[in-house]
Amino acid sequence: MTFRVRMFSILLLSAVCAPAGTQPGKQLFDYYPPIEPFRTGFLKVSDLHEIYYEISGNPLGHPVMVLHGGPGGGSYPSLRRYHHPEKYQIVLFDQRGAGKSKPYAELKDNTTGALVEDMEKLRKELKIEKMQLFGGSWGSTLALAYAEKYPERVDSMVLRGVFLARKQDIDYFYHGGTGQYFPDVYAKLKAHLPSPDKLNYPKQFLDLLRGEDESARDKVARAWAGYETKVAALETPDAEVESLLNGSDCYNFSLLENWYMANDCFLEEGQLLKDARKVEKIPTVIVHGRYDVICPPSQAYELHQALPGSELVLVESAGHSGSAIPMRSALIHAIRSLEPRILKAGD
């Protein structure tokens, strides 16, 4: 079982125990029933990389491309369940080096620009004219990067847990911002660094994860995965975090995430906000947890300010996790709110 799938399972358990509050006056929605893909495949996107993709829902439905988090997280079955399966053609894919894509954990030619072009190649392969983008956390970053490059191919966006990938956003996550709320968890993570006094943590973690000692690599990968798992939800008891990590493949996720963060996500500083004007006409709903300590709500607010026509939904009783009941309800509500603008008669 992949780390991301097991992480989802434990966060879902936490969510079930959480208060099921949502936005005032709005009906509480939950996942659509489980579905299986009607088509799966691999698309060769370079001499080295092949990406796994799957399609579920209605073959004639409105296309939506779902972008997983991480980087390196990979897709998982619940990502098929935010959209009505009779109305949407739901496309999931694993980004380079992640999930079922090949080669596993490959860093060569693995950049944001390459991922954007992979999305465009997949769109062409599937003969999609325009599509909705649905992404959370790093998925929101990639959605914005793609939409700003190919705005004519995007008819709407639903973005969760916005990550703008600026230096200040990376610094916050690595260099003490999250530690203000989880000081014990952050201290445990820092203990693995050879030079905790030097504020270049992404590079230090990457160097450790690329080291020759497999046992040391696995220990650091587990520490990183445990850190992110613990701080993603409002409540994940330590025993459940440990249970999740036991037997999980944390390496791929930890390696790819630190690869991107150590390289400033392969974006120019402030690029996504600077180019937001290119997508200001695309109907967009931004959904963000009020108590998200991985990506503070200020990032969502800044994006909303840069997109005057967007809707910002701050979800009470929610953190970063997309699986918490209040969050997934708000996301489904956001998708439904866009349907009158994007669904054609008969879809």
As a whole number of angstroms, the distance between CA 71 and CA 265 comes to 9
Q: At 6, is the pLDDT very low, low, confident or very high (cuts 50, 70, 90)? A: very low
Average pLDDT over residues 288-298: 98
Q: Is 192 a catalytic residue?
A: no
- Higher pLDDT, residue 56 or 21: 56
Listed by start position, the domains of the chain span 9-164+267-342, 168-265
Task: Kindly state the percentage of the chain with pLDDT values over 70.
Answer: 91
- The structure tokens listed for 286 are 């931004």
Cα gap 221→253, rounded to integer Å: 8
pLDDT at position 1, please?
42
Q: Is 9-164+267-342 a domain of CATH 3.40.190.10?
A: no
**Which of the following is catalytic: 118, 155, 292, 321?**
292
The percent of the chain in helix, strand and coil, each rounded to the nearest 5, is 45, 15, 40
Q: Is 207 a catalytic residue?
A: no
For the chain, what is the mean pLDDT?
Answer: 91
> Which of the four pLDDT bands, split at 50, 70 and 90, describes residue 277?
very high
CA distances from 260 to 62, 171, 245, 266, 315 (A): 32, 13, 22, 7, 28
Q: Is the peptide bond before 71 cis (omega within 30 degrees of 0)?
A: yes
- Residue 27: Cβ-neighbour burial (10 angstroms; 0-12, 13-18, 19+): exposed
Among the listed ranges 44-48, 85-89, 238-242, 285-289, which one has the minimum average pLDDT value? 238-242
Structure-model confidence comparison of residues 239 and 145, the more confident one: 145
**For residue 105, what are the contacts with CB-CB under 8 A and spacing of at least 6?**
72, 97, 251, 252, 255, 256
Residue 9 predicted with pLDDT over 90? no
pLDDT bracket for residue 63 (50, 70, 90): very high
pLDDT in tens, 295-319: 999 999 999 999 999 999 999 999 9
What are the distances in angstroms from CA 150 to CA 82, 99, 121, 163, 330? 24, 25, 12, 20, 27
Average pLDDT over residues 111-127: 98
Say how far apart CA 165 and CA 302 lie, in whole Å: 13
Q: What confidence category does residue 230 fall into, taking pLDDT thresholds of 50, 70 and 90?
A: very high
pLDDT (0 to 100) of residue 25: 54
pLDDT of residue 244: 75
**Residue from 56, 137, 140, 329 carrying the catalytic annotation:** 137
pLDDT digits (tens, 9 = 90+) for 167-178: 999 999 999 999
Q: What pTM did the predictor assign?
A: 0.92
Q: Which of 49, 83, 304, 320 is catalytic?
A: 320
pLDDT greater than 80 at residue 20: no
* Catalytic residue check, 195: no
Higher confidence at residue 28 or residue 116?
116
> Structure tokens of 225?
């995965």
Q: Which residues pair with 312 in a beta bridge?
A: 286
pLDDT of 247 reads 65
Higher pLDDT, 345 or 59: 59
User: pLDDT tens, 137-168?
Assistant: 999 999 999 999 999 999 999 999 999 999 99
Q: What is the mean pLDDT of residues 69-81?
A: 95
Q: For residue 286, give the nearest of 147, 150, 178 by alpha carbon.
A: 147
